[in-house]
Structure 1
Amino acid sequence: MRQRLLATAIATAVVAGLVTGCGAGDAADSKIHLTIATFGEFGYEDLLKQYQTEHPNIVVTQHKVGQAAPHHKELFTKLAAGSGLDDIEAIEEGYRAQVMAKSDKFNDLSKIGPADAGPDRWLPWKYDAGKSKDGKLVGYGTDIGPLAMCYRTDMLKAAGLPSDPDGVKALFASWQSYFDAGKTYVQKTGKPWFDTSTQIFNAMHNQHDVGYYDQSDTLVVASNPDIKKDWDAVTQAIADKESAKLVSFGNEWQAGFKTSAFATTVCPAWMLGSIEQNSGPDNKGKWAVSSAFPDGGGNWGGSYLTVPLQSKHPKEAAELAAWLTAPQQQIKAFVAKGPFPSQVQALQSPELQNTTNAYFADPKTGALYAELAKKLTKAQYKGPADGQIQDDVFAPALQAVEQGKSAADGWQQAVAGAQKAAK
């Protein structure tokens, strides 16, 4: 599951219009007030201003928090209470199954949304993942997370490792070659190779056809050999001192980019904004993105926009959600913050193909991720407690190993925690 986060984990309310403090249904004027709840960086700030300019009868307030986990915790609490939800609620793929299990609490966008937001807009697997098991379209797809690898060219070069695009392909050809390169890097520099074990583990995990659950929603953490294999590989890398032992998206992790605390990090498209923001202007041109990814890449991340039944303006909310997930808007969101479009026309667009990011050593990020996205034909199935297992079970278990717990004890902690979460 993707954990798209802000530079800080402090909850904020961002008003995209010219007014502040206005809630939905404000009776002070005749305008329609809509609210949208997101997490991390969707790249919607300027888009929401544009929408209000083009729709002067609409005022939009964006509620944005840093992390996916607290956003969804609050969402489920408000669903249970029957009140308090925003007109549009963003859903991250790791929590999709939990939302689909409550699909009766959401509008069917195929019935209330505009006609041009049909299935041909999205990659087929992305559109299908927005539907509940009974065929109800609960969410419009926003982005996807094709996997690349980001690395510091200057730090690899200083360690005597290849740093050019062709040279790093051998380093990132497989997880074995990646960890072997990391051992060499640590031996030559005495510094960590990657930022955090949780990021590495999550990327590895998302490459498998079967993850924490099988298609029948049966928990398979203890019986899936791929999960244990990934665990063993990552915890061995921890033992080899390849991890900087940072908590993903925490304050020290954010500072680690600026202080050159690690040389590589897994880099789904939505990570680009975080790298630039956290690394700062002094490191411009030092980070590079490689399309080579261990064992062939995959998808990590992606979200959806939903309209809960609680919305007082469902039709207008659906129209805004459809507009935000149209190809032209998703391209602008990618340029602004990095979430990569899931729309067919966007992927084929010369505008996207020619999009560059001057912060990176090889700025042709649009074409690079578009090529990776075209290779994706499906995403890993996410079961009922998938997001909770990733964020609240495996992440702390890996962090415990980084702090000295044995890999065997950490594994038992993870298995037990997953079983508890799945009840």
Structure 2
Amino acid sequence: MRQIRRRLAFAAAFVLLVLTCGCGPGTPEKITLTVATFGQFGYSDLLPGYQFTHPGLTINQVRTEQGGPYHQDLLAKLQSGQGLADVQAVEEGHLADVLAQSAKFADLAKVGPADVKPGRWLEWKYEAGRSKDGKLVGYGTDIGPLAMCYRKDLLETAGLPTDPGSVKTMFATWDSYFRAGERYVKRSHGKAWFDSAAQNFNAMVNQLPVGYLDREDRPTLETNSALRAAWDQVTTAVAQGQSAGLTAFEDDGNNGLRQGAFATKVCPSWMLGAIEQQAGVGNAGKWAITDAFPDGGGNWGGSYLTVPATSEHQKEAAALAAWLTAPEQQLHAFRVSGNFPSQVEAFASPDLLSEMNSYFGGALSGQVFVAQARKVGKPQYKGPGDGKIQEAVIAPALKSVEQGADPAAAWQQVLTGVRRVVP
């Protein structure tokens, strides 16, 4: 029934587009635009509609299944200056490497449609798409506002509260979260509170005013006391047995979801689909979600559409990117792929606000993540190498702690590793 509703909604939107567009002046010459994306952006049935209303325009979508290989290829093409699409998607974890090369991209504030204003997006989403010199490199697509997911049955067995309103107290701060985890481990006779130290630490770091790098792209780990404090909190929790020591999205992490190996999980909006897919039908209704996250809001995930300077049709490419990131199209992308929109107007959509997730006990997930998205403050600056620090330095060091390494020695390993990434 829901799929029928989605198809009808899209059909109505498409008819409205044709009637209201009037096809404009069209495209005065035959133009081909290439759009490069990864994973699921929800654009497959949008692009034909845009092409239909723009005579002379052909759109080719090139989609890579996995984001890792896609971004490796993107960075290689930026270095060579060849093979780039007219519209290139960029995931926020790789955005710093793109913003550091802003000269290789069109300024969308100049080549994009004049009616596309910053107020279309949440302020923090818009600002994160600008380079240090003020160039608007990317139009925001989706976001990953953070909430907390938890297993109701496991918390109940341990004598902890389970309804979304009551658990908010446990998830109010990282201090209260880890205190609850300590109680859970004791009451459950050694079962884990969360899946991975790296997942929690990543979320904690993203909430800080300054992360791994300052705005001059200098590493901050030796001077940023908040980073060390977060490290100490997480590794103390590991020592208490709170971490299952799993690797998210790998076989052990997926098996952990199916087997109920941990009770709570850091939960950006897109994680709901991942949990449902990996935990399986046998765990339907056992998971819940609350509109709370330790120490306020946060974001993990989301992407941008950019126009490389090598495009021969920058204005047309920018117009297409602007249309794809308008509220109407982003709501459609949400319906078909679950990508949570970053556009302010979309947050008032009845479709979004009435979104109910039966796997998570009928939670109004749209309302949960709208509330969480509004809590996110100023975007943290992320310089080139930020993602590599997290993935290639921090995560392995925390994994070693989960396997028994001394946290202080692992921190020294982190400092050494960061110097290799950012000399």
Give the TM-score category using the shorter length.
0.7 to 0.9
**Separation in 2 of the partners of 1:229 and 1:40?**
35
Residues 159, 189 of structure 1: 8 Å contact kept:
no
Residues 72, 95 of structure 1: 8 Å contact kept:
yes
Q: Deviations over 1:361-399 (max 9, x none)?
A: 242111111122222231211122211111111111111
**Separation in 2 of the partners of 1:118 and 1:363?**
33
Residues 357, 364 of structure 1: 8 Å contact kept:
yes
- Write the mapping of 1:91-240 to structure 2, written as runs, cut at 5 A: 91-187=90-186, 188-240=188-240
1:282 corresponds to: 282
1:253 corresponds to: 253
2:70 corresponds to: 71
- 2:236 is aligned with what amino acid? Q
Q: Deviations over 1:326-369 (max 9, x none)?
A: 11222232333333222111123333222222221242111111
Larger radius of gyration: 2
Q: Judging changes above 3 Å, is the alpha-carbon distance between structure 1 residues 142 and 256 closer, same or farther for their aligned structure 2 residues?
A: same
- Write the mapping of 1:319-398 to structure 2, written as runs, cut at 5 A: 319-398=319-398
**Separation in 2 of the partners of 1:199 and 1:300?**
10
Give, in angstroms, the shift of residue 31 of structure 1.
Answer: 7.6
**Separation in 1 of the partners of 2:397 and 2:254?**
21
Residues 192, 262 of structure 1: 8 Å contact kept:
yes
Give, in angstroms, the shift of residue 415 of structure 1.
Answer: 1.3
After alignment, is 117-126 or 236-245 more displaced?
117-126
- Write the mapping of 1:30-69 to structure 2, written as runs, cut at 5 A: 33-48=32-47, 51=50, 57-67=57-67, 69=68
- 1:111 is aligned with what amino acid? K
Q: Judging changes above 3 Å, is the alpha-carbon distance between structure 1 residues 318 and 374 closer, same or farther for their aligned structure 2 residues?
A: same
Residues 198, 395 of structure 2: 8 Å contact kept:
yes
Q: Secondary structure at the match of 1:300?
A: strand
Q: Deviations over 1:259-306 (max 9, x none)?
A: 222221101122222122222222222221111211223233332111
Give, in angstroms, the shift of residue 200 of structure 1.
Answer: 0.4
Q: Secondary structure at the match of 1:369?
A: helix
Give, in angstroms, the shift of residue 309 of structure 1.
Answer: 2.3
**Separation in 2 of the partners of 1:359 and 1:315?**
43
- 1:404 and 2:404 are equivalent in the alignment: yes
Q: Judging changes above 3 Å, is the alpha-carbon distance between structure 1 residues 214 and 158 closer, same or farther for their aligned structure 2 residues?
A: same
1:264 corresponds to: 264
Q: Judging changes above 3 Å, is the alpha-carbon distance between structure 1 residues 290 and 132 closer, same or farther for their aligned structure 2 residues?
A: same
Give, in angstroms, the shift of residue 209 of structure 1.
Answer: 0.9
Q: Judging changes above 3 Å, is the alpha-carbon distance between structure 1 residues 157 and 42 closer, same or farther for their aligned structure 2 residues?
A: farther
Q: Judging changes above 3 Å, is the alpha-carbon distance between structure 1 residues 316 and 274 closer, same or farther for their aligned structure 2 residues?
A: farther
**Separation in 2 of the partners of 1:400 and 1:53?**
54
**Separation in 1 of the partners of 2:273 and 2:307?**
27
Q: Judging changes above 3 Å, is the alpha-carbon distance between structure 1 residues 124 and 292 closer, same or farther for their aligned structure 2 residues?
A: closer
Q: Judging changes above 3 Å, is the alpha-carbon distance between structure 1 residues 130 and 154 closer, same or farther for their aligned structure 2 residues?
A: same
After alignment, is 125-134 or 391-400 more displaced?
125-134
Q: Judging changes above 3 Å, is the alpha-carbon distance between structure 1 residues 31 and 192 closer, same or farther for their aligned structure 2 residues?
A: farther
Give, in angstroms, the shift of residue 201 of structure 1.
Answer: 0.4
Q: Judging changes above 3 Å, is the alpha-carbon distance between structure 1 residues 240 and 336 closer, same or farther for their aligned structure 2 residues?
A: farther
Q: Judging changes above 3 Å, is the alpha-carbon distance between structure 1 residues 155 and 365 closer, same or farther for their aligned structure 2 residues?
A: same
1:16 corresponds to: none
Q: Deviations over 1:38-94 (max 9, x none)?
A: 344434444446555666853432322334x44333221111112122332222333
With normalisation by structure 1, the TM-score equals 0.85
- 1:180 is aligned with what amino acid? R
Name the count of aligned residue pairs.
Answer: 393
Q: Deviations over 1:154-200 (max 9, x none)?
A: 22112222111122112212212212222222231432211111110
1:309 corresponds to: 309
Identity %: 55
1:291 corresponds to: 291
Residues 292, 372 of structure 2: 8 Å contact kept:
no
After alignment, is 199-208 or 125-134 more displaced?
125-134
| Unaligned runs of at least 5 residues, structure 2 | 1-28
| Unaligned runs of at least 5 residues, structure 1 | 1-29
Q: Secondary structure at the match of 2:71?
A: helix
Give, in angstroms, the shift of residue 421 of structure 1.
Answer: 0.9
**Separation in 1 of the partners of 2:140 and 2:35?**
15
Residues 193, 264 of structure 2: 8 Å contact kept:
yes
**Separation in 1 of the partners of 2:151 and 2:341?**
26
**Separation in 2 of the partners of 1:49 and 1:285?**
38
2:244 corresponds to: 244
Q: Judging changes above 3 Å, is the alpha-carbon distance between structure 1 residues 355 and 229 closer, same or farther for their aligned structure 2 residues?
A: same
With normalisation by structure 2, the TM-score equals 0.85
- 2:260 is aligned with what amino acid? S
